[in-house]
Structure 1
Amino acid sequence: MVRPLLMCFAFCVVSATSKPTKKDRVHHEEELSKLEHNDQESFNFDHEAFLGLDRAQAFAELPPEESKRRLGVIVDKIDSDKNDFVTEEELEVWIVHIHKKQIYEDEELHWDDIDKNKDGFISWAEYTDFTSNNSDADADDAATRARDERRFKFADKNGDMLADREEYAAFFHPEEFRHMKDIVVQEAMEDMDKDKDGFLSIEEYIADAYALEDGEEEPQWLDEERKHFAEARDQNKDGKLDRKEVLDWILPDEDHVKIEAQHLLHEADADHDGKLTKDEILGSYKVFVGSQVTNYGEALHHDEF
């Protein structure tokens, strides 16, 4: 069943049958690798950030010369303006592309089932037809469908109500796409702003964090949440959160991509001119990719190489 609004953007969902627990509305940006970033031990973190997990593992099985050759092919792709230099910005674009591969793989699970006419797009009609046939009708269906449609239109950059793979990924995982941040905040506000005044009061903030059962004693950590609301969340100290303050709360600016791009540039920039040539990247190939002399075998088969 595909129902993105019910996924809650990786927020913690509280079951109606279980004891209430602390909810976390913050979208924690996915790490570029699950490994510890410790260049004194290895560059494996950088390999996964630059290549993605599967491709990093495959490169590790290649002989050094083949690994460098394939890295050269990647460098040509990263150099989008074909000026023979790779900038920090181009590295960022590449890392974002790699980082989002998992998102696109998630959407592939249902793509063929939804795209009935096989035109390479998912129309709003195809999406609603699929979800209607794969979900149980309930009283909230009309409201949920209206919310879905609004998000679908928001993700549909050209307004044709046909989602290509990137637009559908943005619809399905809006928290992962910067241009979707307004709809993420809007949906969060609709969930939490019970009096519909356009702001979050401390009471609404606390009620969203924890739902007390009848007769239950309030957990002590709620005092810390109130303190955090006043000292950190409420930036202008007016006793409530506006949309900008909610945005800064649930979508914090944790730019792991920029940090990694800066790190890679620093490691490979031999002449310290703030950009990389292909020779500089290949000269520091162990930072970007792995390799080994043995076990080449059938390690990597991609058309781009």
Structure 2
Amino acid sequence: MYPNAGRSRALYLLLFYVTGGCSKPTLRNERVHQDSVLSDKLHQDVANFEYDHEAFLGKEDAKTFDQLSPEESIERLGKIVERIDENNDNYVTLEELKAWIIRVQKRYIYENVAKVWKDYDLNKDNNISWEEFKKATYGYYLENPEEFQDTVDQFSLKKMLPRDERRFKAADMNGDMVATREEFTAFLHPEEFDHMKDIVIFETLEDIDKNSDGYVDEDEYIADMYTKEEGAIEPEWVKTEREQFTDFRDLNKDGKMDKNEIRHWILPEDYDHAQAEARHLVYESDKNKDKRLSKDEILDKWSMFVGSQATNYGEDLTRNHIEL
């Protein structure tokens, strides 16, 4: 079984301020899923293959494939298979598939950073200082605090400014409060960097520990994913999560999770997401059970690898070119 995608996560709030103008910041409340490095979709093949598509293609290219006809999807998948087969022996091994998945995910992360880089590098020196980030992100709020007086946004902004500064300092390896491209990538995607793990754990605890006692109890754990309405009966999946908490989250059985248990939960050292997904794809596609995939075996399972949701409307959409 795969860990529950969407259960382990840390809150990340981006507040975009359009520099050079007077636009208000836009609050965007977004979870960074630690166990969904490959995708934030649920891994549920019975219902759909969205998780597999994003893991195999990357999130942006998965969206592009959704607009293609089955014929176009299969044709492009054939080209991808040729790239995955690095030794050109006409087979894709588990190791080659894992390497491809890792490469695709890293590409997505660095492309994501590239898209927003110019918004923060205000002086165009190819670095982003804390002051630049603060101005670009919180400038409107800091210059116009009266507009946020006694609002929910004011509470969020006051909370997120020191939180972002703390994370920025953690990402800043040489302590000069100026982020290189790599350091800024660590700031935006802390789940990808070993030296950011403590921050990820701290932010997770900060988000879920509502009574601020330094621990996450069962009710806080459940409340992070489910809000029970008055008189409602808890669904079965919530009961399962309570069992998960007792059996697998609370390792020392004291009724709560400490930082070490949270680390084990959201950053398990013995779980390799790319390896698990590669094994899953091989297992589901390997017809002759020789533990490697031929091009025909992959194309036969094309809907798992790339899929297509083409409709008459989708066929008419402008299709973006993706580099294969």
**Which TM-score bucket, shorter chain as reference?**
0.5 to 0.7
Q: Using the TM superposition, give the Cα deviation of residue 151 of structure 1 relative to its aligned residue in structure 2, in angstroms.
A: 1.6
Where in structure 2 are the equivalents of 1:252-263 lying within 5 Å? Answer: 257-263=274-280
Deviation of the 1:112 alpha carbon: 2.4
Aligned: 1:53 with 2:79:
no
**Residue 133 of structure 2 corresponds to residue 127 of structure 1:** yes
* Amino acid in the other structure paired with 1:113: D
CA distance 1:276–1:126, shift in 2 (3 Å): farther
Give the structure 1 partner of residue 117 of structure 2: 111
Q: For 1:27-81, what per-residue CA distance to the aligned partner results, in whole angstroms no more than 9, with x for missing partners? A: 6738565796249xx97875555334323224436458xx43x4344235445x6
Q: Which moved more, 1:149-158 or 1:279-288?
A: 279-288
Matching residue of 1:23: none
Secondary structure of 1:150's counterpart equals helix
Count of residues in correspondence between the two structures: 267
Quickly say closer, same or farther: Cα 1:128–1:286, change in 2 above 3 A: closer
Structure 1 residues 230 and 119, CA, compared in 2 at 3 Å: closer, same or farther? Answer: same
Matched residue SS, 1:235: coil
- Give a deviation string over 1:199-254, Cα, whole Å, max 9, x none: 5275xx757877xxxxxx9x998xx8999866654311345532121234456798
Aligned-partner SS, 1:264: helix
Of structures 1 and 2, the larger Rg is shown by 1
Matches within 5 A, 1:138-157: 145-156=161-172
Residue 321 of structure 2 is aligned with which of 298, 301, 304? 301
Aligned to 1:20: none
CA-based RMSD: 5.3
- Cα distance change, pair 58–139 in 1 and its aligned pair in 2 (3 A): closer
User: Which one of the candidate residues 191, 214, 237 is aligned to 2:253?
Assistant: 237
Q: Deviations over 1:65-112 (max 9, x none)?
A: xx43x4344235445x65756443443454455567776676567432
- 2:49, 2:303 within 8 Å by CA — same for their partners in 1? yes
Deviation, 1:265, is 1.6
With normalisation by structure 1, the TM-score equals 0.57
Partner of 1:19: none
The answer on whether the counterparts of 1:268 and 1:276 sit within 8 Å (CA) in structure 2 is yes
1-structure distance, mates of 2:254, 2:41: 39
Amino acid at match of 2:66: Q
- Whether the 8 Å CA contact 1:87–1:275 is kept in 2: the answer is yes
Counterparts of 1:106 and 1:193, CA distance in 2:
32
Given that 1:9 and 1:173 are in contact with CA atoms closer than 8 Å, whether structure 2 keeps it comes out as no
Give the one of 160, 175, 192 matched to 1:177.
Answer: 192
> Hey, what's the Cα distance between the residues in 1 that align with 2:307 and 2:219?
48
Separation (CA, whole Å) in 1 of partners of 2:125 and 2:68: 34
Take 1:240 and 1:271, find their aligned partners in 2: how far apart are those partners?
47
Q: Which amino acid in the other structure matches residue 37 of structure 1?
A: D
User: Does the aligned pair in 2 maintain the 1:78–1:94 contact within 8 Å?
Assistant: yes
Structure 2: runs of 5+ lacking an equivalent? 1-12, 17-26, 146-153, 224-229
Give the conservation status (yes or no) of the 8 Å contact 1:62–1:296: no
Cα pair 1:48 1:56 within 8 Å, conserved: no
Inter-partner Cα distance in structure 1 for 2:317 and 2:15:
42
CA distance in 2, matches of 1:171, 1:59: 34
1:193-232 aligned within 5 A: 199-200=214-215, 202=217, 232=248
- Which residue does 1:264 correspond to in 2? 281
Counterparts of 2:303 and 2:155, CA distance in 1: 57
| Counterpart Cα distance in 2 of 1:31 and 1:55 | 15
1:296–1:94 Cα change, 3 Å: farther
**AA of the residue aligned to 1:235:** L
Q: In structure 1, what is the equivalent of residue 31 of structure 2? A: 10
Aligned CA distance change for structure 1 residues 117 and 282 (closer, same or farther; 3 Å): farther
Over 3 Å counting, the alpha-carbon distance change for 1:282 and 1:236 in structure 2 is: same
**1:94–1:117 distance in 2 versus 1, CA, 3 Å:** farther
AA matched with 2:197: K
| Counterpart Cα distance in 1 of 2:253 and 2:63 | 47
In the alignment, the residues of structure 1 paired with residue 211 and residue 164 of structure 2 have an alpha-carbon distance, to the nearest angstrom, of 20
Q: Which residue of structure 2 aligns with residue 37 of structure 1? A: 45
Which ranges in structure 1 are unaligned for 5 or more consecutive residues?
12-25, 211-216
Q: % of aligned pairs identical?
A: 39
Task: Give, as a single letter, the amino acid of the residue that structure 2 aligns with 1:74.
Answer: I
CA gap 1:123/1:299 in 2 versus in 1, 3 angstroms: same
